[in-house]
Amino acid sequence: MVACLLLQIKALFEDAGIVDEKAQTLVEYGLILLLIAIAVVGAVTAFGGQVNGLYQRVVAAWP
């Protein structure tokens, strides 16, 4: 009964043009951006010490 009512309400919104897919796309892009940010933080955490050591060696070898 509730499911049928929800489907009818959804159909009314779709017929009226109220349903907007732009918000869904925005949420999807936000999730992709979040995953990229998590990957970057993970990479910096994993390789940060090695990059810092390499940088220190380059600075020490600079004339």
Percent of the chain past pLDDT 90, that is, above it, reads: 51
Helices (H), the chain: 2-16, 21-61
Residue 17, CB half-sphere, CA atoms under 13 Å: how many? Answer: 0
- Cβ distance 28 to 22 under 8 Å? no
**38 is written with which tokens?**
């998590």
| Residue 2 maps to a domain | no
Q: State how many domains the chain has.
A: 1
The pTM of the whole model exceeds 0.75: no
| Residue 7 maps to a domain | no
The parent domain of residue 35 ranges over 21-63
Return the higher-pLDDT residue of 18 and 27: 27
On the question of pLDDT at 35 being above 90, the answer is yes
